[in-house]
Structure 1
Amino acid sequence: MTVYILLFRGVGGATQLPTAPLREALSAAGFENVATYINSGNAIVRTSLSRDKTVAKVAEICREKFGFTKAIHAPTLQEWSELIAKNPFPDAVSVPKFLHAAVLAEEPDEKNVEAIRALAGDGERIAVVGKVAYIHTPGGFGVSRMAEKFDKLIGVENTARNWNSVLKLEELAKKAAA
């Protein structure tokens, strides 16, 4: 059995995935130890299905029940724990809302990362480790030009979570694995 952390891209504003109905739908589909975290596109499931089959099944449920058709990323609990361990900015976790981890569909071109880095304001940093971009915006993610342009310039499908969410999702995934 594998625990997957489901990260739904683009939830918020007009695009909603209501947590209680999502939990119910995933449980009814046979996923075990289902949990959701805040109404911004996060769920945890335990299953014997492969990642590809899990994502396909969840995508079908979301499309049919909620009209949701955006990308779904599904790192395993082990991959998520590695994402936390490989954080290149350990000094940034003291204010976790200013550190984000963006799960990338594939490794981005270095020139794209450099284009984003060129927009960094005072104290802002970005580093890509494998298929994760770590973005530190000590003045706030919502006011950062680097953060604002990240999605457009990175050149690969992605979805980001702040460090508070990163840690909470790991906690929920560990409970689902037990």
Structure 2
Amino acid sequence: MNKKIGILRGINVGGKRKILMADLKLLCEKLGMENVKTYIQSGNLIFNSDKQGFELENALEKGIAQEFGFDVPVIVRTEKELETSINNNSFYDKDVDISQLHLTFLKEKPAKQHIDKVSSLDHEPDKFKIKDKDVFILCEGKYHKSKLSNSFFEKQLKVGATTRNWKTVLKLLELAKN
């Protein structure tokens, strides 16, 4: 069985689309995932499965809709993909305050013309870099005040997205390795 990381978008935010992690874990087990762990209430999963990412994304999205009555976008990465993402972040070095770093996970690799368009827009004081299915963000201030939100990248890149702070990204890899 291969280690996978599931990242759900927009649950348990402001009392909306509420899912208890114990209930999410049970749903994952019903869907055939093994050794399921959750991390914090924002919808982070670590589990074992031999299924491919898109199969797991679809199964989780359908299962959540049936079980809880609302749509939740899900992005799945392998342990190796998450490790590669961490290694690809050129903003991540010993001198940076990791509270300024965020990773926006993209559902799929965006088209070059969309990347070119978003890259030409003014984002100051914040910076970002797109590599494959990841957007690495360096926020000078608070992320919730940045122009570089999930909605911004979904609209500009024409793909689904969800963002995690760097501390969470590192913790997800740590949990996947244990």
Query: TM > 0.5 between the two?
Result: yes
Gaps spanning 5+ residues in structure 2: where?
none
Tell me which residue corresponds to 1:169.
Answer: 172
Say which SS state the counterpart of residue 74 (structure 1) adopts.
strand
Alpha-carbon contact 1:6-1:73 (below 8 Å) kept = yes
Tell me which residue corresponds to 1:157.
Answer: 160
Alpha-carbon contact 2:153-2:161 (below 8 Å) kept = no
What per-residue deviation string (whole Å, max 9, x for no partner) do you get for residues 113-153 of structure 1? 4554433222x211001111111112121112344733432
Tell me how far 1:111 sits from its aligned partner.
4.9
**Matches of 1:150 and 1:4 in 2, distance apart?**
24
Cα distance change, pair 151–97 in 1 and its aligned pair in 2 (3 A): farther
Tell me the TM-score normalized by structure 2.
0.85
Q: Looking at both structures, which has the greater relative contact order when contacts are Cα pairs under 8 Å and sequence separation is at least 6?
A: 1
Amino acid at match of 1:4: K
**Matches of 1:16 and 1:75 in 2, distance apart?**
23
- Single out whichever of 37-46 and 75-84 deviates more from structure 2: 37-46
Tell me the TM-score normalized by structure 1.
0.85
Superposed structure 1 runs of 4+ greater than 3 Å apart: 91-94, 109-117, 146-151
What per-residue deviation string (whole Å, max 9, x for no partner) do you get for residues 150-178 of structure 1? 34323221111110110011111112xxx
Tell me how far 1:93 sits from its aligned partner.
7.4
Identity %: 29
Aligned-residue Cα RMSD (Å) equals 2.2
Tell me how far 1:83 sits from its aligned partner.
0.4
**Matches of 1:120 and 1:10 in 2, distance apart?**
24
Alpha-carbon contact 1:23-1:34 (below 8 Å) kept = yes
Q: Name the structure with the higher helix share.
A: 1
Gaps spanning 5+ residues in structure 1: where?
none
Match runs of 1:128-139 below 5 Å:
128-139=130-141
**Matches of 1:159 and 1:9 in 2, distance apart?**
5
> How many residue pairs were aligned?
174
What per-residue deviation string (whole Å, max 9, x for no partner) do you get for residues 81-116 of structure 1? 000011121248732232111111223244544554
Tell me which residue corresponds to 1:95.
Answer: 97
**Matches of 1:114 and 1:125 in 2, distance apart?**
15
1:3 corresponds to 2:6: no
**Matches of 1:35 and 1:141 in 2, distance apart?**
27
1:68 corresponds to 2:70: yes
Cα distance change, pair 52–75 in 1 and its aligned pair in 2 (3 A): same
Alpha-carbon contact 1:92-1:136 (below 8 Å) kept = no
Alpha-carbon contact 1:99-1:135 (below 8 Å) kept = yes
Say which SS state the counterpart of residue 36 (structure 1) adopts.
strand
Tell me which residue corresponds to 2:27.
Answer: 25
| Structure 1 counterpart of 2:83, from 69, 81, 84 | 81
Cα distance change, pair 50–143 in 1 and its aligned pair in 2 (3 A): closer
